[in-house]
């Protein structure tokens, strides 16, 4: 049975008809039938029988509630017991049950709905079931009012939406996890639609491509602004691009590398993976998932590596020295030509030979020892000279350098061996050794170089230790020029001048200078000589000796430098250095005394340490005993600690080390090294406190901490095992974890395997879940994180942190059940339930789409709802509900036409809500759409009736105004012709009544047109900017003229400047205010005063308003009649008390209210009997800067 047919013939209710909605009529019909059923038998084949059968099978709760006097249910459908746990009879018997049923925190939601001004209300709140479980309920109610507007009954439907609420939260969390992963991935991710447009990009993709997401969305996959190139540098054809292959061929592309060159940037090399996604039954992808990785730097590194390898190959092949690569066993894997030449083997012969095969037996062990040290990490490389055995069996001497190449983990890979043939040098060294031996025998008596200069022959002969000192062979010819050239340039002029001077007039000469050795280094020499003269006193020879004093001078410099360093060390040491005599007198105090304790060192000299006022009185005896102990044993060292006073009065902790150096002539005292350890003491105290906190943390941690030895023995259990599992910690220590009776038998093998793997892999971490038995016999779900800290601490075993995840497991199971309930709820719903992306595309469509629209849900997924909305309705939906959502409104409703699969259109009422993430940001849209085609047909019939009424009133108005105009005109002519006519009073009465009836006809016509403001002809409202001050001036003038006609006076006042702009139809607003003034004149005392007050009022949550108040001092209006004063034709009892001013038509206040509300304002009435009435209207100001006219 269809609802519309069920509603036809049912008694109408004025308030439900005014609501104009399906809900009111449906609830009214259902409730009426149900109430009749409660009051007596109902025929099963009647309409009420059909209603009861419908209610008996409904899963939703249908009810009728009477708020007054104490509140009770008039009807509750049988499904209430399944939903709430309370039987319908309990609701009838217990009026207070509704208060217990509604969650205390949501009671205000229900109250606000009942106080609503509208005929219907929709809201969601929580109920508390009889079993205490909290559930979410969606309620839609109709508010039944009496003639005075009071709610006398509430009829409604309640639907359990708990599953939907939980599913929405689970969905929000799932979506948030996806968003977090998407935004934090290091690889770029792009989503393309089926047309190749980028619909989504994560931050990594925008960073890799160097453009923001908005610009990406505008790019085509074949955009020519980005040049694509192959790895060989040629341009990549469009058909080879990964996205094009995935879109056009539907093939997955993996690891495709291509270059992208933007118009204003350098080429970036990108590795693409493109995966097409298909909808069921379709062979064309609707979306392509693309991941990309910037491999530009990797390619550069690979190119640099190849270049380096090529350089190495060239250098390796053409090196003048022998180079070989050997494995860890010492076998040659690669040799260069020079290596083959030195050893006399062909390259192929050498490959595979080992170090042992070609090394001379006498040198083998040394080589093996060096290689072992190199492999063990004791050496980074080594150099030695050794003999190799050549291919012909002869030995060859070589200088060998060997280094070891390791991988990134430090593991050895291979040896690099470099050899150089030094056989000739070795032979020379042998000859030199023999020569040196001979010279040593000759010049054994001297360690100096002996020289003899013949001034006549200009020769220089060397002897003695000259060759050993300076490296020059004595057999080589030399002269004075040779000697001068080897004097250091900075010393040469001085030495030559000195020699010339002694030759000129002198006998002995000596000097010290720098002399270049054969190896290029300089020696500091002390040279002494004497001049041999002939009979004519001419110098003919010069004989002398040269001594190498380099080491002596170096030692002297080192000693001086050492003394300077020691002095600097003492002066700048962070420790205080003090020297005392045996009697305790201080003879030296280092400057660091000032830095550490703030005292001048000089002031401490001469003081006695046994009476020092700087040492804490409690520590002085211990310090004095330490000094005495040091005095008892020369050369001994004694350490002590004490407190010493700083110059600022504070005490510093000091560590003093006493060295007895009384027997050292250079010291002759006890040396104290004093160090400030105040901060160390504080650190030690902090460490102790930290250890106490850590111990407290372990003792009070909510996690169980377990230490298991290498054999599986439990070494430690934290106290939290008592809180988590109810067992005493000590009861488990010493037991074997592999045989634990606490772990569920099904979980024990997995747990044992995890421990074994963790024990076998030092530094590893793994997590395992299991069930463990509580002391009460129940099992708790436990998550254990195991860590093997071997190598990091002194502990050998496994440390496990275990936490109780029983509640989390229950929550996960509840979530799974919730998601299943949501699926079942959505699939069984009568309405079309959908989930949308923020751009509107369908993410989920309930199965009812097949019944309502003819589409399978899969056909709509990913499509845009606006493709289904009637073209005429699209602009209205975009500018209305969608705009409200974008402004942050939580839920909006709209009605529009949707195209069915068969091409026809149906009217749907859609409720759209926002789904926010845990940060309050809008994440998704959810819609619930109901087919209201039949309701729209009824509304169109109603609108047609309204149009007919408007036309009828226009015709009636025309028919009435024409004769009234004639009657009034004739009466006015009669009065003008004969002012003393006997019918004067009658004619005046005709004029007055004709004018009154004409005004009534105009008022009725205005109200009729206002009622039909959505239909042509529209109500005559023309809004335009109006300045407030000139408008009020003109309004006061018109009000004074109108009051004067009634014999009344206007008292006009204005609060403040009243400056601003209104956007209104000022003629109609003036009409509304004057209607209030006219009403005040009619119902006020004859000749009375009418107050007209105006001013601006600021609203906290809205624009500033213009307030206009009209007050009289008439008899007032009874409080019970005050809500009805704006009803049409309402005059009530006070019309009987009118004075000489006469009564009205009962339409003036209704017209004023219509005009004000049509201009976005509101009107209020206040009154007290015997004191008068105040009518106040409010109009919002506008920010429109358009220049208004000077006056209305």
Give the C-alpha separation, 148 to 845, whole Å. 45
Instruction: Name residues whose C-beta falls within 8 Å of residue 386's C-beta, 6 or more positions apart in sequence.
Output: 359, 360, 363, 366, 367, 397, 398, 400
Q: Cα 1056 vs. chain centroid, distance in angstroms?
A: 51
* The domains spanning 3-160 and 703-789+796-802 adopt the same CATH topology: yes
- Integer Cα distance of 1018 and 1070 in angstroms: 20
Helix (H, G, I), strand (E, B) or coil at 351: coil
Within 10 angstroms of residue 737's Cβ, the number of other Cβ atoms is 21
633: three-class secondary structure by DSSP: coil
- Spell out the domain ranges in the chain: 3-160, 175-301, 319-421, 433-550, 573-676, 703-789+796-802, 829-931, 1021-1180
Architecture of domain 703-789+796-802 in CATH?
A: 2-Layer Sandwich (3.30)
Give the pLDDT mean for 614-618.
Answer: 90
Q: What percent of the chain has pLDDT over 70?
A: 82
The CATH architecture assigned to 3-160 reads 2-Layer Sandwich (3.30)
In this structure, are residues 615 and 623 in contact, taking their beta carbons and an 8 Å threshold?
yes
Instruction: Supply the pTM of this predicted model.
Output: 0.31
Residues 589, 601: contact at Cβ < 8 Å? yes
Given a cut of 80, is residue 566 above it in pLDDT? no
* 31, 739, 762, 946 from 934: Cα distances, Å: 21, 73, 75, 19
pLDDT at 1191 over 50: no
Q: Is the pLDDT of residue 1126 over 90?
A: no
pLDDT on residue 1014: 45
Contact in structure between 1010 and 1158 (CB atoms under 8 Å):
yes
pLDDT tens column, 231-250: 888 888 888 889 889 988 98
Q: Name the CATH code of domain 829-931 (choices 1.20.140.10, 3.30.450.20, 3.30.1330.80, 3.40.50.300).
A: 3.30.450.20
Does 3.40.718.10 match the CATH number of domain 573-676?
no
Return the CATH fold of 1021-1180: Heat Shock Protein 90 (3.30.565)
Output the six-digit token pair for 191: 């989503």
CA 681 to chain centre: 42
Cα gap 789→751, rounded to integer Å: 19
| Mean pLDDT (whole number) for 293-308 | 79
When computed from its CA atoms, the radius of gyration of the chain, rounded to whole angstroms, is: 55
Closest CA to 581 of 610, 623, 613, 603: 610
Reading the block at residue 580, the tokens are 């005392």
Any idea which residue has 């990785």 for tokens? Answer: 293
Between these two residues, 1136 and 59, which has the higher pLDDT value? Answer: 59
User: At 195, is the pLDDT very low, low, confident or very high (cuts 50, 70, 90)?
Assistant: confident
pLDDT of residue 166: 87
Q: How far is CA 625 from CA 31, 168, 201, 620, 621, in A?
A: 106, 80, 79, 9, 6
Which residue do the tokens 């190119």 mark?
Answer: 303
- pLDDT tens readout for residues 432-466: 667 556 545 544 556 788 888 988 888 888 877 88
* Res 1018: pLDDT: 42
The rounded distance, in Å, linking the Cα atoms of 513 and 553 is 11
- Looking at every residue in the chain, the average pLDDT score rounds to 81
Tell me how far apart the alpha carbons of residues 510 and 530 are, in angstroms, rounded to a whole number.
9
Between CA 229 and CA 1175 the distance in angstroms is 80
Task: Encode pLDDT of 384-435 as tens digits.
Answer: 999 999 988 899 999 999 999 888 788 998 899 999 988 888 887 777 667 5
Q: For residue 39, is pLDDT > 50?
A: no
Asked if 1165 and 1148 count as a contact pair (C-beta separation under 8 A), the reply is no
The residues facing 1064 across adjacent strands are: 1024
- Per-residue pLDDT band at 918 (split at 50, 70, 90): low
Residue 1017 clears pLDDT 80, i.e. is over it: no
CB contact set of 443 (below 8 Å; sequence gap of 6+) = 450, 463, 464, 465
Which tokens go with 279?
Answer: 């909808």
Q: What is the pLDDT of residues 111-141, one digit of tens each?
A: 898 888 889 999 999 999 999 999 999 999 9
Question: What residue spans of 71-161 are helical by DSSP H?
Answer: 80-84, 88-93, 97-101, 107-114
Average pLDDT over residues 335-348: 89
- Range in 306-310, 325-329, 819-823, 1018-1022 the model is least confident about: 1018-1022
pLDDT at 298: 79
pLDDT at 906 over 90: yes
User: In CATH terms, is domain 175-301 a member of 3.30.450.20?
Assistant: yes
Task: Give residue 54's pLDDT band: very low, low, confident or very high (50, 70, 90).
Answer: low
Strand partners, 123: 139
Per-residue confidence band for 360, with pLDDT thresholds at 50, 70 and 90 = very high
Q: Please confirm whether the linkage preceding 1017 is cis (ω < 30° from 0).
A: yes
In the numeric block, the tokens 């850590």 are attached to 694
More confidently predicted of 649 and 317:
649
Please report the pLDDT score of residue 28 as a whole number: 43
Distance in angstroms (rounded) separating the CA atoms of residues 576 and 658:
12
Q: Hey, which of 517-526, 590-599, 917-926 has the most confident mean pLDDT?
A: 517-526
Residue 59 structure tokens: 């899963």
Burial degree of 36 (CB within 10 A; 0-12, 13-18, 19+): middle
Q: Which CATH number fits domain 319-421: 1.10.1530.10, 3.20.20.10, 3.30.450.20, 3.20.20.60?
A: 3.30.450.20
Q: Does residue 1154 register a pLDDT over 80?
A: yes
Range of 256-260, 795-799, 949-953 with top mean pLDDT: 256-260
Residue 522 has pLDDT above 50, yes or no: yes
Question: What average pLDDT does range 1009-1034 have in this prediction?
Answer: 72
Give the Cα-Cα-Cα angle 1120, 1124, 1128 (nearest 5 degrees). 155
Strands (DSSP E) found in 391-456: 395-406, 412-421, 449-454
The answer to whether residues 758 and 729 touch, using CB atoms and an 8 Å cutoff, is no
User: What single string gives the DSSP state of each residue in 1064-1075?
Assistant: E-HHHHHHHHHH
Mean pLDDT of 1096-1117: 87
Asked whether the beta carbons of 763 and 788 are under 8 A apart, the reply is yes
Give the pLDDT of residue 595: 85
Fold (topology level) of 433-550: Beta-Lactamase (3.30.450)
CB 1165 within 8 A of CB 1172: no
- The mean pLDDT of 499-519, rounded to a whole number, is 91
Instruction: Give residues with Cβ within 8 angstroms of 588, minimum separation 6.
Output: 577, 578, 579, 605, 669
pLDDT at 19 over 50: no
Residue 242 phi/psi, 5-degree rounding, is: -55, -45
Q: Three-state SS for 39?
A: helix
**Dihedral sign from CA coordinates of 338, 339, 341, 345:** negative
Q: According to the model, what pLDDT value does residue 435 have? A: 56
For residue 294, name the pLDDT band (cuts at 50, 70, 90): confident
The yes-or-no verdict on residue 683 having pLDDT over 70 is yes
């Amino acid at each position: 049975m269809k609802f519309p047919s069920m509603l036809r013939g049912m008694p109408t209710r004025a308030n439900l008809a005014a609501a104009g909605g399906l809900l009111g009529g449906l609830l009214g019909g259902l409730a009426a039938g149900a109430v009749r059923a409660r009051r007596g038998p109902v025929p099963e084949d009647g309409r009420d029988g059909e209603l009861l059968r419908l209610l008996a099978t409904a899963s939703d709760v249908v009810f009728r509630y009477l708020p007054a006097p104490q509140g009770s249910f008039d009807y509750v459908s049988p499904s209430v017991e399944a939903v709430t746990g309370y039987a319908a009879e309990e609701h009838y018997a217990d009026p207070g049950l509704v208060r217990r049923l509604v969650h205390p925190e949501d009671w205000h939601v229900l109250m606000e709905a009942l106080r609503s001004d509208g005929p219907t209300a929709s809201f969601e709140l929580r109920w508390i079931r009889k079993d205490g479980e909290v559930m979410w309920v969606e309620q839609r109610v109709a508010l039944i009012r009496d003639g005075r507007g009071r709610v006398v009954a509430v009829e409604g439907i309640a639907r359990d939406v708990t599953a939907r609420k939980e599913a929405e939260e689970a969905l929000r969390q799932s979506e948030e996890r996806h968003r977090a992963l998407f935004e934090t991935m290091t690889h770029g991710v792009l989503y393309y639609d089926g047309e190749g447009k980028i619909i989504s990009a994560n931050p990594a993709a925008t960073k890799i491509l160097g453009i923001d997401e908005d610009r990406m969305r505008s790019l085509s996959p074949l955009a020519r602004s980005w040049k694509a190139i192959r790895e060989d540098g040629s341009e990549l054809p469009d058909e080879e691009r990964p996205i094009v292959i995935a879109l056009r061929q539907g093939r997955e592309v993996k690891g495709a590398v291509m270059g992208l060159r933007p118009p204003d940037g350098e080429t970036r090399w990108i590795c693409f993976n493109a995966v097409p996604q298909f909808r069921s039954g379709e062979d064309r992808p609707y979306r392509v998932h693309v991941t990309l990785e910037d491999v530009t730097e990797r390619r550069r590194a690979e190119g640099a590596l190849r270049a380096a390898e090529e350089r190495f190959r060239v250098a390796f092949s053409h090196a003048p020295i022998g180079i070989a690569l050997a494995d860890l066993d010492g076998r040659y894997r690669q040799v260069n030509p020079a290596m083959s030449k030195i050893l006399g083997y062909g390259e192929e012969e050498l490959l595979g030979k080992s170090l042992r095969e070609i090394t001379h037996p006498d040198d083998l062990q040394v080589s093996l020892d060096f290689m072992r040290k190199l492999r063990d990490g004791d050496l980074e490389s080594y150099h030695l000279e050794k003999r190799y055995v050549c291919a012909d069996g002869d030995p060859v001497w070589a200088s060998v350098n060997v280094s070891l190449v390791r991988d990134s983990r430090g593991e050895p890979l291979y040896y690099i061996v470099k050899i150089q043939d030094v056989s000739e040098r070795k032979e020379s060294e042998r000859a030199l050794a023999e020569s040196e031996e001979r010279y040593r025998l000759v010049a054994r008596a001297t360690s100096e170089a002996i020289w003899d200069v013949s001034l006549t022959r200009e020769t220089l002969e060397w002897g003695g230790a000259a060759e050993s000192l300076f490296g020059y062979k004595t057999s080589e010819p030399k002269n004075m020029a040779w000697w001068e050239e080897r004097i250091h340039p900075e010393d040469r002029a001085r030495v030559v001048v000195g020699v010339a001077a002694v030759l000129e007039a002198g006998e002995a000469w000596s000097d010290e200078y720098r002399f270049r050795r054969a190896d290029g280094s300089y020696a500091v020499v002390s040279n002494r000589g004497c001049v041999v003269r002939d009979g004519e006193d001419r110098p003919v020879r010069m004989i002398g000796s040269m001594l190498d004093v380099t080491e002596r001078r170096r030692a002297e410099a080192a000693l001086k430098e050492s003394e300077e360093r020691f002095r600097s060390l003492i002066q700048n040491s962070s420790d205080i250095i003090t020297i005392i005599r045996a009697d305790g007198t201080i003879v030296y105090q280092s400057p660091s005394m000032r830095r550490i304790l703030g005292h001048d060192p000089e002031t401490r000299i001469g003081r006695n340490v046994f009476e020092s006022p700087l040492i804490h009185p409690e520590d002085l005896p211990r310090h004095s005993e330490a000094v005495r102990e040091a005095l008892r044993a020369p050369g001994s060292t004694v350490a002590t600690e004490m407190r010493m006073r700083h110059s600022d009065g504070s005490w510093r902790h000091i560590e003093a080390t006493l060295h007895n150096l009384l027997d050292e002539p250079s010291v002759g005292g006890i040396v104290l090294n004093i160090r400030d350890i105040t901060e160390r003491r504080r650190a030690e105290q902090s460490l102790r406190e930290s250890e106490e906190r850590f111990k407290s943390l372990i003792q009070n941690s909510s996690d169980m901490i377990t230490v298991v030895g290498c054999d599986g023995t439990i070494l430690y259990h934290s106290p939290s095992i008592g809180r988590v599992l109810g067992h005493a910690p000590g009861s488990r220590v010493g037991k074997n974890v592999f045989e634990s009776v606490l772990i569920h038998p099904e979980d024990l093998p997995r747990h044992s395997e995890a421990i074994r793997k963790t024990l076998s892999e030092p530094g590893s971490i793994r997590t395992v879940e299991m069930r463990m038995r509580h002391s009460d016999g129940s099992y708790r779900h436990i998550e254990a994180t195991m860590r093997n800290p071997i190598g990091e601490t002194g502990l050998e075993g496994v440390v496990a942190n275990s936490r109780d995840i029983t509640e989390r497991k229950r929550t996960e199971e509840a979530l799974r059940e919730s998601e299943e309930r949501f699926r079942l709820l959505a699939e069984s719903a009568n309405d079309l339930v959908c989930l949308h992306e923020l751009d509107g595309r369908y993410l989920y469509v309930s199965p009812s789409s097949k019944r309502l629209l003819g589409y399978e849900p899969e056909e709509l997924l990913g499509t845009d709802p606006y493709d289904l909305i009637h073209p005429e309705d699209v602009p209205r939906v975009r500018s209305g509900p969608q705009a409200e959502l974008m402004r942050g409104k939580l839920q909006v409703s709209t009605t529009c036409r949707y195209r069915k699969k068969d091409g026809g259109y149906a009217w749907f009422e859609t409720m759209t809500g926002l789904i926010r993430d845990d940060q309050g940001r809008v994440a998704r849209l959810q819609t619930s759409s109901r087919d209201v085609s039949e309701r729209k047909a009824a509304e169109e019939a109603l609108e047609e009736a309204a149009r007919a009424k408007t036309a009828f009133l226009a015709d009636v108005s025309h028919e009435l105004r024409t004769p009234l105009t004639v009657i009034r005109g004739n009466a006015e002519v009669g009065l003008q012709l004969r002012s003393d006519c006997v019918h004067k009073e009658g004619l005046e009465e005709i004029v007055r009544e004709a004018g009154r009836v004409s005004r009534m006809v105009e008022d009725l016509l205005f109200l009729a047109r206002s009622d039909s403001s959505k239909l042509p002809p529209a109500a005559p409202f023309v809004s335009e900017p109006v300045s407030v001050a000139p408008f009020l001036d003109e309004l006061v003038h018109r009000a004074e003229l109108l009051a004067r006609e009634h014999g009344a006076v206007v008292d006009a006042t204005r609060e403040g400047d009243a400056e601003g702009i209104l956007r209104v139809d000022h003629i109609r607003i003036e009409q509304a205010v004057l209607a209030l003034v006219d009403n005040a004149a009619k119902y006020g005392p004859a000749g009375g005063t009418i107050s007209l007050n105006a001013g601006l009022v600021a609203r906290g949550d809205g624009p500033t308003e213009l307030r206009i108040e009209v007050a009289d001092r008439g008899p007032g209006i009874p409080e019970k009649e005050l809500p009805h004063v704006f009803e049409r034709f309402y005059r009530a009892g006070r019309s009987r008390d009118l004075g000489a001013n006469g009564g009205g038509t009962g339409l003036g206040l209704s017209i004023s209210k219509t005009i004000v509300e049509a201009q976005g304002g509101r009107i209020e009435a206040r009154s007290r009997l015997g004191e008068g009435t105040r009518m106040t209207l409010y109009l919002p100001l506008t920010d429109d800067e358009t220049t208004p006219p000077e006056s209305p």
